[in-house]
Structure 1
Amino acid sequence: MTAVSERPRLTSVEARLDALANRLPATAPASGARARLVEFAVFVLKQAWACVFGAAFLAVVLAAKLWYPDDAALARNDALTIAAVLIQVVMVLGRLETLRELRVIVTFHIVGTVMELFKTDVGSWMYAADGVLRLGGVPLYSGFMYAAVGSYMVRVYRLFDLRFTRYPRRWITAVVAVAIYANFFTHHWIVDLRWVLTIAVVVLWGRTMMHFRFFRGRFRMPILLAFAGVAVFIWLAENIATYAGAWLYPSQVGEWHPVDVSKLSSWFLLMIVSVVLVTWVYPPREPQGSARGVDRALVD
């Protein structure tokens, strides 16, 4: 593990917001129920800020379902693709993402699009056939849904000043991530190894603790719990997206219903691929000095 003490630099917009938040200590209590409430409020606000790309795109998808005219000259799928591109451009020009982070987000886009091309070809899920901004049966906006995960991951790393103890060696995590990604393809022809890979993830990251800061206090929790929590969050977003018709599973074609909870295992494993990609932009950092011993445990 690479031990780097410096916090990743905030974007200019985030730095101004952080400076505004730093005025809270004058009025925020140091302990008690109000202090916990302030910490929770900052947690919610930072999570919302980290999700800004995904939330904006999901809002566009829902708006298109509710109000986009069926007889519009521009196909709905093409409108969604253009909207996704515009959101990404605003994120970069508005200095909400750095160019360094954009590289890993583009990688998410490519990795996701390749999977989409394969999965739609074998019938795992499907998209509406309208529009010209597409590769085969896959509209180009699909890659931005994976990019939204990448955007969240790189932003949450900065905003929560993430640090780790007993983080596994990155080359080993890369091997596991490649195996997970390959299994998304190969399980259609050979035995599905997702549960073997899940066990490998638990063994590899089982002792890793994630240290983070909301506002004033620092906390820690098992990283596997964080992985599971984000997987549930993505699954909830997937339900919204399928309801809005961004894509559909075969069983949802006749009538929409919630996505089966079994998909959580897929999102959990995809999380590992996402985490490994991000660590090549932001190497895992250890807590500074005595911080290891004073972080409060959310879950131990």
Structure 2
Amino acid sequence: MIFLTRLTDFTWKQIKCCLFPAIIFCALGVTKFFPLPFITRYDLLLLICLLTQVLLIRYGFETLDELKVIMLFHLIGLGLEIYKVQVGSWSYPGSGFAVLFGVPLYSGFMYASVASYICRAFKEFQLRLENWPRSVLVVAICLFIYANFFTHHFLPDVRYLLIGLVLLLFAKTNVYFTVSKKELKMPLSVSFLLIAFFIYLAENIASFFGAWSYPDQLAAWRPVHIGKITSWFLLIIISIIIVAQLKKIKASELFSSTKSKKQKIHDLSV
């Protein structure tokens, strides 16, 4: 009974965390099978993503600070998309007006929706990280991972070396999450893998709905190669690192501000 209660609570919280990605997937499916004659699909998807983002802010699902993080992911993702399309890793065969260097602007929101999920998960599950590595090492591994997405096209692909470094760096890091008022613990690296696996499944659905096409999917749809899980494993690490680091900075600023106010009150009372 306790297990079912926790499973239900966990599932409901996951559903709330996945609201933005779920809306994007629904939009991909609907626009694929029910196109509108007066607007291109890519442009319609961009409008849906923009409207979704506005409504999430309007009704308090996301804060303005979280919006800044989400837009950062939008830019990071869009930059990666433009490069990958130029080197032929995948393509967007449709047409649209809101397209930059062959990449529709809505595509950045698919990365932004991952950031939205992570930001929401911190609140829904009251996430708490234990034994977070030194910031300089965390930022360095983050930069190396992102750079490898670009450089592996003309330099050796070091993703497996990076995965090894990640496992070593976060070997002692645990994430605590609350389900049905019970705090549970999981190694952070395990959460990286689990999220990467589910994003891989989502990628298969998205490519089936024509969000983009890999070279081997142009003639007919086929499942995305299982090796893509390693890419998502590294990309989700970047996502969590950025959110966690920004939250750490925010907490530090809040602590400093509170400490300063207390000092001023003390000075006035002396």
Report the TM-score, using the length of structure 2 for normalisation.
0.90
Count of aligned pairs: 250
Letter in 2 for 1:197: L
Partner of 2:256: none
Secondary structure, aligned partner of 2:56: helix
State how far apart, in whole Å, the 2-side matches of 1:280 and 1:221 are.
19
Partner of 1:163: 128
Unaligned runs of 5+ in 1: 1-33, 286-300
State how far apart, in whole Å, the 1-side matches of 2:103 and 2:234 are.
22
Structure 1 residue 65, shift from structure 2 partner: 1.1
The reply on whether 1:43 has 2:10 as its aligned counterpart is yes
What CA deviation, in whole Å up to 9, does each residue of 1:51-108 have, x standing for no partner? Answer: 1001111111011112114xx1211111111111111111111111000100000000
2:214 to 224, 237, 249: 249
- Matched ranges for 1:1-300 at <5 A: 34-69=1-36, 72-283=37-248
Letter in 1 for 2:58: L
State how far apart, in whole Å, the 2-side matches of 1:47 and 1:264 are.
20
Structure 1 residue 283, shift from structure 2 partner: 2.0
Q: Percent identity?
A: 40
Aligned partners of 1:231 and 1:264 also within 8 Å: yes
Secondary structure, aligned partner of 2:176: strand
Instruction: Name the structure, 1 or 2, with higher relative contact order (CA <8 Å, separation 6+).
Output: 1
Partner of 1:30: none
RMSD value, Cα: 1.2
State how far apart, in whole Å, the 2-side matches of 1:55 and 1:156 are.
15
Aligned partners of 1:39 and 1:216 also within 8 Å: no
State how far apart, in whole Å, the 2-side matches of 1:238 and 1:132 are.
24
Displaced runs of 4 or more, over 2 A = none
Secondary structure, aligned partner of 2:137: helix
* Larger helix fraction of residues: 2
State how far apart, in whole Å, the 2-side matches of 1:125 and 1:212 are.
36
